[in-house]
Amino acid sequence: MDIGVPETEREIEITPLEEPVPAPAPVEAPTEEPAPA
């Protein structure tokens, strides 16, 4: 991938407050089947 010549390179440091990665879906608690009457 041609992103340009190395001579133009400058460094940036990014420290996000929260990483832009989706949180895993919460695990749903198993629901109990209603007991037969």
Partner 1 sequence: MSALSIDPVLGWRLWHVRLHGDEYRLESFTWHHVSWPPKRRFEATCTLHREAAPVAGHECGIYAFTTRALAEDLLRRYTGIRHRYGREYRELPPVRRGRPIALGSVSLWGRILAREKGFRAQYAYPYELHLIGGDDRIAHELRDRYAVDVSS
Residue 6 or 34: which CB sits closer to partner 1? 6
Please, what is the minimum distance in Å from the beta carbon of residue 28 to partner 1?
16
Distances (CA, A) of 31 to 8, 24, 35: 58, 20, 12
User: How many binding residues for partner 1 (CB under 8 A)?
Assistant: 23
Residue 12 CA to residue 9 CA, distance in Å, equals 10
Of 3, 27, 29, 35, the residue at the interface with partner 1 (CB under 8 A) is: 3
Please, what is the minimum distance in Å from the beta carbon of residue 4 to partner 1?
3
